Amino acid sequence: MINHVLLINPAYPLSETPSPPLGLAYLAGALEAAGATVDILDLVVMPKTADTIAEAIDAFQPDAVGVTAVTMTAESAFDIIREVKQAAPDVLTMMGGPHATFTTAETLAAVPELDVIVRGEGEQTLLDLLAERRRPGRWATIPGLAFRNGGGIQETAWRKPVDDLDNLPAPARHGLPLGRYRTLGMPVSVTTSRGCPFQCAFCVGRRMVGARVRYRQPLRVVDEIETLAALGFRQINLADDLFTANPRHCRAICDDIIRRGLHIRWSSFARVDTVSVDLLTRMREAGCHAVSFGMESGNQDILKRVRKKITLKQAETAVTMCRQAGLEAHASFILGLPGETPETLDQTMAFARRLRDQGLSYGFHLLAPFPGTAIGDHPEDFDLRVLSRHWPDYHANRAICETRNVDRGRLDAMAVEWETRLKDYLDDIGRRMLTGDAREEEIQQIRNMERTVILHELMMTGALETAAPVNGNGASPAAAIESLTRQVSACLPDWSDDKIHDALNHARDRNGLRPTHRTDGHTSWHWVDYLSEAQ
């Protein structure tokens, strides 16, 4: 019998535009449907101190604790597992997600406190594992696991991906601190399918979700979108690897959004070879405002070498189609791919700039050779030199790989130049705001960014929770926010009281910050963590 499970999301920076952890919500949904009680500790928006994990174990008394991680958060996840075992040696410790899935032996060796890894899609494997929690001798019969056995590591068979996604219980988002994400103005992600038939050499997505694309029923997808819209989310990301791959599925979702009259803004990922003006127009009519393409490189040979299976021509056409359909096209490029030379880097930059003139917005990452990808597992086949196996370095903003002709210094310099340009752009708006020359949308852009950073810092320092109750004289809510501003400003020395005050007001207006009127006449404040449709 599965009783009580605690799922944990390790922290990662605001710069990665976090969204509520969908994988954990799916796992929680499956566990709850099987009768378990689930708690989720989301350290992306909740503060973590030296005692947080021990306190959570004490409060929830879980039988099992599962931690998710991508490669850049793996070390934090390991620390969490260690803290769990130290606080409660009998609790079963589990990890899942793309990093642990493809580093089983290394991870189990590095973290003796970790009992078992769930590989690939986790819902059914987790239920089977927890049913046999006390009988490790039976784990060998459960597909999708890796654990210590005797002196070695045992990996069981790969589990076949779930056939019918509509049989999966809905993601249990009620257990996530969605209110904090809404307050921060972060998007929320929804998937309409799982699977990808392509084999790009830098991507682990396909290996996680399988080659066969499985689709959810459009009506159920739109039910989910409607629920999120009712909760006040105005920005939804369709996080499928290939949302536009099947035009019929994509169109059915758009049609239903339009039929229900939902007013939401959403964006999606797409491949440049799977869009048409027709489809993009329908997407725009259904509220889509932006489509993100993985364009990766401006050099055709490199695209071929990483098996992207797209052409530069298709990339260019996709941008034109987006423009014709009235959609924003966004592209991500990867610098430092196999075969990269100073010339191919220039080509990529020139290609991106040329498409920018046609309406494209774009960003760069540096290649990170993630475990489980062809490049990560066999860098020598791609003539790449991997410089770091220190997982926190795998954030893709600094070089950890070199090609024969492009070294780390050059790649880092490009990343720094890119970041400097972005900073200069924001500084320029800041200057023009002071002289009254900034456009209204620029002002809003900066204000929103500042509010998000201030509110996130406040959430992560726990300043609100430790602030003394205010407003003892029964003054107005406005005075109470002013008083709160003065109290928390010591935690945010980089920000003026005016900006903190504005951010707190904004959070209160969005119903993300609420007063508790105490019997002693004082007021304390709390973040709104959990959302139900009434809120």
For ligand B12, the binding residues (CB under 6 A) are 12, 16-19, 21-23, 26-27, 66-68, 70-73, 94-99, 118, 121-123, 126, 189, 191, 203-205, 208-209, 239, 241, 365, 370, 395-396
- E-assigned strand segments in 271-335: 288-296, 328-335
Whose tokens are 């004289």? That residue is 473
Among 200, 229, 295, 455, binds ligand SF4 (CB under 6 A): 200
Among 44, 196, 318, 467, binds ligand SF4 (CB under 6 A): 196
Count how many Cα atoms sit within 13 Å of the Cα of residue 195 in the half-sphere of its side chain.
17
Instruction: Compute φ and ψ for 325, nearest 5 degrees.
Output: -85, -5
Helix (H, G, I), strand (E, B) or coil at 520: coil
Give me the residues paired with residue 385 across strands. 402
Is 294 one of the binding residues for ligand SF4 (CB under 6 A)? yes
Site for ligand SF4 in 232-271 (CB under 6 A): 241, 271
Tell me the closest approach of the beta carbon of residue 185 to ligand B12, in angstroms: 14
Give me the residues paired with residue 235 across strands. 265
Binding partner of residue 62 among ligand SF4, ligand B12, none, CB cut-off 5 to 8 Å per kind: none
**In sequence order, which residues have a C-beta less than 8 Å from that of residue 493 and are 6 or more positions away?**
none
Size of the site for ligand SF4 (CB under 6 A): 10
Tell me the closest approach of the beta carbon of residue 210 to ligand SF4, in angstroms: 11
Listed ranges 7-15, 196-204, 387-395, 413-421: which one lies at the site for ligand SF4 (CB under 6 A):
196-204
Closer CB to ligand SF4, 60 or 198, in the complex: 198
Instruction: Compute φ and ψ for 116, nearest 5 degrees.
Output: -155, 145
Length of the chain: 535
Per-residue CA distances from 332 to 271, 272, 282 (Å): 11, 12, 23
Among 18, 23, 98, 205, binds ligand SF4 (CB under 6 A): 205
Binding partner of residue 154 among ligand B12, ligand SF4, none, CB cut-off 5 to 8 Å per kind: none
Q: In the stretch 392-431, what mask flags binding to ligand SF4 with x, by CB under 6 A?
A: ----------------------------------------
CA–CA gap between residue 48 and residue 147 (Å, rounded)? 28
Quick one: which of 323, 260, 317 has its CA closest to 287?
Answer: 260
Closer CB to ligand SF4, 308 or 501, in the complex: 308
Other Cβ atoms closer than 10 A to 354: 13
Tell me the closest approach of the beta carbon of residue 343 to ligand B12, in angstroms: 25
Which residues contribute to the site for ligand SF4 (CB under 6 A)? 196, 198-200, 203, 205-206, 241, 271, 294
